[in-house]
Amino acid sequence: MEVKKNPKANLENHNKQFMLLGLALALLVIYIGIEWKTFERNIGDLGNANMELEDEIDIPITERIQEIKPPPPPPPAPEKIEIVEDEADIEETILESTETDENEAIEEIVEIVEEEEVFDDVPFAIIENVPVYPGCKGTNEQKKKCMVAKITKLVGRKYNTGLAGDLGLSPGKKRVYVQFKIDKTGKVVDVRARGPHKRLEKEAIRVVNMIPKMTPGKQRGRPVGVKYTLPITLIVE
């Protein structure tokens, strides 16, 4: 008859558990052995016990250093009070009332008329708003270039260039400088000329007087006279 064993009763199935348990017990014993503390005890004659004195440690006495604050400023000196004797006369300031009485006559109010600021003639190069030649449009700079071009074209067409050769002048370039003013109404006035011959100057004045009336130049929004210098170059062969 075959004896049947219960599988749970077989201890070979628990080898791993037993091994781990034994290992844990061994580690526990080793840990307790390492951590176990022993003390040396010297048992001598208790009556003649000689106890060594501990080394004395000198602890320096430290003082707390308080922050040194500057002394407070001295109190302000009391104001010097000047004692005036009763005999001295003190001049009192009398405040007069500015209110007028109904019975008093009111002085006539004089109206102050501000004088209108008068501008001198302004050179063409620095005028704020240049004179406007008929037909010129655009910005202030465009109007300036247009005016110069129009005047140059007019002088080139109207000036008698053959006059310089008839006067027997030496060959070369001859210049006539013409200065005039565009007044507050836009007219050309005060025309003057300077050149190598009187007839050339007279011809230049005649031509410049042919410039049409323009819109006057303005400085700070007010019409002013504008000075203009025109050089005329003639070539004598």
HEC assignment per residue over the chain? CCCCCCHHHCHHHHHHHHHHHHHHHHHHHHHHHHHCCCCCCCCCCCCCCCCCCCCCCCCCCCCCCCCCCCCCCCCCCCCCCCCCCCCCCCCCCCCCCCCCCCCCCCCCCCCCCCCCCCCCCEECCCCCECCECCCCCCCHHHHHHHHHHHHHHHHHHHCCCCHHHHCCCCCEEEEEEEEEEECCCCCEEEEEEECCCHHHHHHHHHHHCCCCCCECCEECCEECCEEEEEEEEEEEC
Give pLDDT, residue 85: 56
The full set of domains in the chain, from first to last, is 122-236 (3.30.1150)
Q: In percent, how much of the chain has pLDDT > 90?
A: 35
pLDDT > 50? residue 208: yes
pLDDT digits (tens, 9 = 90+) for 82-118: 555 555 454 554 545 455 555 555 455 555 555 555 5
Q: Please compute the mean of the pLDDT values over residues 196-208 and round it to a whole number.
A: 92
* In contact, 173 and 190? CB cutoff 8 Å: no
* In contact, 176 and 200? CB cutoff 8 Å: yes
pLDDT > 90? residue 132: yes
pLDDT digits (tens, 9 = 90+) for 48-69: 444 444 455 555 555 555 666 7
Q: Please compute the mean of the pLDDT values over residues 148-160 and round it to a whole number.
A: 91
Q: In percent, how much of the chain has pLDDT > 70?
A: 62
pLDDT digits (tens, 9 = 90+) for 11-47: 666 778 888 888 888 888 888 888 876 656 554 544 4
**Residue type (1 letter), 133:** Y
Give pLDDT, residue 60: 58
Count of CB atoms situated within 10 Å of the CB of 41: 5
Give pLDDT, residue 235: 85
* In contact, 154 and 206? CB cutoff 8 Å: no
Least confident of 76-80, 88-92, 206-210: 88-92
Give pLDDT, residue 70: 73
